[in-house]
Amino acid sequence: MNEHPQPILPLDEDLNSALGFHVDEVEIGRVTGHFDVENKVRQPFGIVHGGAHAAFAETLASVGTFRAVAETGQIAMGMSNNTTFLRSVNGGRIRAEAIALSQGKTTWVWDVTLRDEQDRVCAVSRVTIAVRERRRA
Amino acid sequence: MNEHPQPILPLDEDLNSALGFHVDEVEIGRVTGHFDVENKVRQPFGIVHGGAHAAFAETLASVGTFRAVAETGQIAMGMSNNTTFLRSVNGGRIRAEAIALSQGKTTWVWDVTLRDEQDRVCAVSRVTIAVRERRRA
Amino acid sequence: MNEHPQPILPLDEDLNSALGFHVDEVEIGRVTGHFDVENKVRQPFGIVHGGAHAAFAETLASVGTFRAVAETGQIAMGMSNNTTFLRSVNGGRIRAEAIALSQGKTTWVWDVTLRDEQDRVCAVSRVTIAVRERRRA
Amino acid sequence: MNEHPQPILPLDEDLNSALGFHVDEVEIGRVTGHFDVENKVRQPFGIVHGGAHAAFAETLASVGTFRAVAETGQIAMGMSNNTTFLRSVNGGRIRAEAIALSQGKTTWVWDVTLRDEQDRVCAVSRVTIAVRERRRA
């Protein structure tokens, strides 16, 4: 019998918590989430750090893949993250939607679109997640 | 006379501080830095979050471009960040080196290599930074 | 008075001709086209060469940007092309649609989706095109 | 007993032939090649088509992976191709070198550097190639 891989970190200590990331909905092939623009996601000049967009896209794609494959005991590992920044954001809430373009046996490819408070696209990301067998202890 | 654009955030509050990123050396076309693998850069299963690699690459490339163009009053804006993950990292210190592949009038392209404590490449990132005139208040 | 930059190559000799690429519709922010899967777009094992997908995406995004900026005498120059291959294709016709995600003064970002004869997505590409002043002779 | 997968196309008919691509050296983890700048690799304004750079990088990475895994009966399939254009090229010979950054069981990641006749870097490409079992007929 397969057992679900379990998170090993206290949930309030990981990167998602450090940056204030929230996952809202998880369906097969679709994940949404949001984060608020506070200083912890800004670069020194006050706009959202590009890495925050990239990291949030990575989180949504990883969660979406993991939830789908975990029941067979598999894990999800990020392979690549290609994020393009279209509009700088100073404040408000950023909402994102991740859609799986392909759901393969060994890799899932996601398109993630991030929008600002006015619903304008501020960044897009293509994230590839590998599906791997969990290594036994 | 041009004046340097100045950071507007308290230095201990931005994303770099939230994730424990450190810039070590800044030369024209080359920047190095490091961060320690603590929970705030991990995903829930204990390995470094892909977004931490991407964000750190973004920081190094941005700082390297900004330092070079700031004296003419220009600013640096991230355009794209393509990060590939080669090896998962559980702990220790990650060191990175960013090298500028091109230093154009309107864009700089950087290759960033991130290495783990054992000096193995764990991620590589290609970051494009736009150079723009600062908008006057 | 600005004059349109003019192609300098015989139209039946360039890469688009060598690979059998066709542009079908060009609107502001949207371009479509197709190519047939013949040996000249295949790799040695008979499937479409990844470079054919990438090159076709580049063509559509370049044409779409060029047509929009040419009337002001500007030119379009490819900056980056990120293509992800989702399904291998052996034959038939490949149709593609390019949509501009942003239409900036200095760069346009395009999403290109390529579909096989059965309308399944076989590749996606994110292409960034720079808009530049034409250098005078 | 494993048998090498064999090319199925006449060698003088595939994309590599259509665009004049040549592979020069193939070692484990390193491949070099060249192509001459003739009209068939140009876009309509006379410079090398970005897709030619991308396609050539794809060829070198594919050949390098395939040669290494073919003896176990596996095949190489392109997963993604991220090419950044640094300098436009009008003529001469383009030489490229592909170096494997990782040589995994399921994916190989390559960095490809393309240089013009004056040995200046004109494009860089990061190519990910999947290693797959060959499907039996």
pLDDT, tens only, A41-63: 999 999 999 999 999 999 999 99
Q: How far apart are CA A100 and CA A61, in angstroms?
A: 8
- Give C110's DSSP letter: E
Check the CA dihedral C19-C24-C26-C27 and report its sign: negative
C13: buried, middle or exposed (CB in 10 Å: 19+, 13-18, 0-12)? middle
Binning pLDDT at 50, 70 and 90, where does residue C17 land? very high
pLDDT value at residue B91: 97
pLDDT value at residue A9: 86
Coil vs helix vs strand at B28 = coil
Burial A26-46 (b: 16+ CB within 10 A, else e): beebebbbbbebeebbbbbbe
Average pLDDT, chain B: 93
| Segment D43-73, tens digit of pLDDT | 999 999 999 999 999 999 999 999 999 988 8
The terminus-to-terminus CA distance of chain B in angstroms comes to: 16
pLDDT value at residue C49: 98
Tell which wins on pLDDT, D10 or C77.
Answer: C77
Which of D16, D35, D58 would best serve as a mutation to test chain C binding (most C beta carbons within 10 A)? D58
- How much is the pTM? 0.95
pLDDT value at residue B9: 86
Question: Pick the catalytic residue: D3, D13, D25, D58?
Answer: D58
| Segment B92-128, tens digit of pLDDT | 999 999 999 999 999 999 999 999 999 999 999 999 9
| Segment C84-93, tens digit of pLDDT | 999 999 999 9
State whether A49 and B41 contact (CB < 8 Å). Answer: no
**Whether the Cβ atoms of residue D56 and residue D33 lie closer than 8 Å to each other:** yes
Question: Pick the catalytic residue: C3, C27, C38, C58?
Answer: C58
pLDDT value at residue D17: 97
**Sequence letter at residue D127:** V
Which of A84, A105, A110, A114 would best serve as a mutation to test chain C binding (most C beta carbons within 10 A)? A84
pLDDT value at residue B133: 86
* Assigned token pair, B17: 């501080």
Average pLDDT, chain C: 93
Q: How far apart are CA A102 and CA D80, in angstroms?
A: 13
User: Do you know the residue count of chain B?
Assistant: 137
A119: buried, middle or exposed (CB in 10 Å: 19+, 13-18, 0-12)? exposed
The residue assigned the tokens 């190639």 is: D129
ipTM exceeds 0.85: yes
**Whether the Cβ atoms of residue D90 and residue C61 lie closer than 8 Å to each other:** no
Residue A1, pLDDT > 70, answer no
| Cβ-nearest to C102 among A82, A86, A126 | A86
Task: Determine what percent of chain B is predicted with pLDDT higher than 90.
Answer: 85
The question of whether B27 is a catalytic residue gets the answer no
Largest CA distance in chain D: 52
pLDDT value at residue D119: 98
Which chains would you list as touching A if contact means 3+ CB atom pairs under 8 Å? B, C, D
What element of type H or E holds A59?
Answer: helix A50-69
pLDDT value at residue C137: 41
Q: Distance from B102 to chain D by nearest Cα, in Å?
A: 7
Binning pLDDT at 50, 70 and 90, where does residue C7 land? confident
Tell which wins on pLDDT, A96 or B8.
Answer: A96
A71: buried, middle or exposed (CB in 10 Å: 19+, 13-18, 0-12)? exposed
Beta-carbon count within 10 A of C92 CB: 12
* Assigned token pair, A72: 């067979």
Binning pLDDT at 50, 70 and 90, where does residue A72 land? confident
**Taking the domain C15-133, which CATH number applies?**
3.10.129.10
Tell which wins on pLDDT, C2 or A72.
Answer: A72
D86 part of contact set with chain B, CB < 8 Å: yes
Q: In chain C, what residues touch B106 (CB-CB under 8 Å)?
A: 106, 130
Domain ranges of chain A: 15-133
Residue B2, pLDDT > 90, answer no
Q: In chain C, what residues touch A87 (CB-CB under 8 Å)?
A: 102
The residue assigned the tokens 């973004």 is: B58
* β-pairing verdict for A93-103 and B22-27: unpaired
Beta strands in chain A (DSSP E): 22-27, 30-36, 74-85, 93-103, 107-115, 121-133
Which of D80, D81, D110 would best serve as a mutation to test chain A binding (most A beta carbons within 10 A)? D80
Range C48-61 average pLDDT: 98
A75 part of contact set with chain B, CB < 8 Å: yes
State whether B87 and D102 contact (CB < 8 Å). Answer: yes
Predicted confidence pLDDT, tens digits, chain D (137 residues): 455 677 888 878 999 999 999 999 999 999 999 999 999 999 999 999 999 999 999 999 999 999 999 988 899 999 999 999 999 999 999 999 999 999 999 999 999 999 999 999 999 999 999 999 876 54
Which chains would you list as touching C if contact means 3+ CB atom pairs under 8 Å? A, B, D
